[in-house]
Amino acid sequence: MSIWDHLRELRYRVTISAIAIVLGALVSIIFYRWLVDLIMAPWNRARTALVEARPGASLMVVNNGVTSSFTFAVVLCVVAGLILSTPIWVYQLWAFVAPGLLVKEKKYAMGFIGAATPLFLAGCALGYYIWPKGIEVLLSFTPQDMGITNMQDMAEFLKMEIQIILVFGLSFLLPVVVVALNMAGVIRGYQLKRARKFVVFGSVVLAAVATPTTDPFSMLSLAVPVSGMFMLAELICRISDKRKGITEETAAEYAIDLDDGK
């Protein structure tokens, strides 16, 4: 295929994916109230826990401005449409990439997709689960008995919730990326062992920068699983290298064999 044929194919795949997302967003309008309850459930749990601990706490969810409610509804429905149409746009992505892969590469790609999907969903679920605790920790800094009311804008709250869920979901893909790089010969198990302490430190820094709440509970809830999954990926890579007879001494020779097609 020429470059123009590839571009036409890409345009077709993107168009189908966009139509599927729009249709999913339109369908989600039917379940709008249920979606709002789902999004606001972490806030309600955090508010209940905080009021029980501090009976005088004053908390309120508001819509600031004329267009705030509309913006919230549009963003929520588009995100829901993106989730509902996941099988369609993932297939379109695969259909665009698959013709350029060899049979062995297709097998590896399907294996990585099969591993990445549950890990991503597990990370998103963990982010959604710990999000109420993060809210509670942040709101607990409000001075007591001073007539101060915490007012949370719904659109801003939705933005923060989506951010923290995606950060957790994407972070859980670390072991898949590490194992894929190992199978491609980019990194080796002994190299991962050397980098372990730097990765643990980096995961803490990543959690501090990436999580929008900046509370220590959310940061540790992200840093600890990421560090643990990196160590698991390191173990898998070292076992794989051992089966191939690759050590620090033989790695250079193995790379030469790969270049020669052996």
The domain limits of the chain are 1-165, 173-262
Least confident window among 61-75, 78-92, 181-195: 181-195
Give the pair of three-digit tokens for residue 245: 């007879």
pLDDT of 22 > 80? The answer is yes
The crossing angle, in degrees rounded to 10, of helices 216-244 and 103-139 is: 160
What pLDDT shows up at residue 262?
Answer: 47
What pLDDT shows up at residue 23?
Answer: 95
Q: How far apart are CA 222 and CA 62, in angstroms?
A: 29
Q: How far apart are CA 148 and CA 72, in angstroms?
A: 26
What pLDDT shows up at residue 247?
Answer: 64
CA dihedral for 212, 216, 219, 221, sign (positive or negative) = negative
Q: Give percent of the chain with pLDDT exceeding 90.
A: 10
Alpha helices (H) along the chain: 3-28, 32-53, 68-84, 86-97, 103-139, 154-171, 174-183, 189-210, 216-244, 251-259
What pLDDT shows up at residue 251?
Answer: 53
Select the highest-mean-pLDDT range: 40-44, 214-218, 248-252.
40-44
Q: How far apart are CA 206 and CA 204, in angstroms?
A: 5
Q: How far apart are CA 231 and CA 234, in angstroms?
A: 5
pLDDT digits (tens, 9 = 90+) for 181-192: 777 677 777 788
DSSP 143: P
pLDDT digits (tens, 9 = 90+) for 144-158: 766 777 778 888 888
What pLDDT shows up at residue 191?
Answer: 80
What pLDDT shows up at residue 25?
Answer: 93
> Backbone dihedral region of 214: left (phi > 0), alpha (psi from -120 to 50 degrees) or beta?
left
What global pTM score does this model have? 0.75
Q: How far apart are CA 86 and CA 203, in angstroms?
A: 28
pLDDT of 142 > 70? The answer is yes
If you average pLDDT over residues 188-207, what whole number do you get?
79
> Backbone dihedral region of 153: left (phi > 0), alpha (psi from -120 to 50 degrees) or beta?
beta
The b-or-e profile of 39-53 (16+ CB within 10 A means b, else e) is bbebbeebbebbeee
What pLDDT shows up at residue 124?
Answer: 86
Measuring CA to CA, which residue among 170, 196, 192, 169 is closest to residue 182?
192
Q: What angle do CA 109, 114, 118 make, to 5 degrees?
A: 140
DSSP 60: E
Q: How far apart are CA 32 and CA 73, in angstroms?
A: 8
Residue, of 151 and 20, whose pLDDT is higher:
20
Give the pair of three-digit tokens for residue 22: 């729009």
Q: Please, which pLDDT band fits residue 132 given cuts at 50, 70 and 90?
A: confident
Half-sphere exposure of residue 260: CA atoms within 13 angstroms, side-chain side: 7
Residue, of 74 and 3, whose pLDDT is higher:
74
Residue, of 101 and 134, whose pLDDT is higher:
134
Q: What is the mean pLDDT of the chain?
A: 79
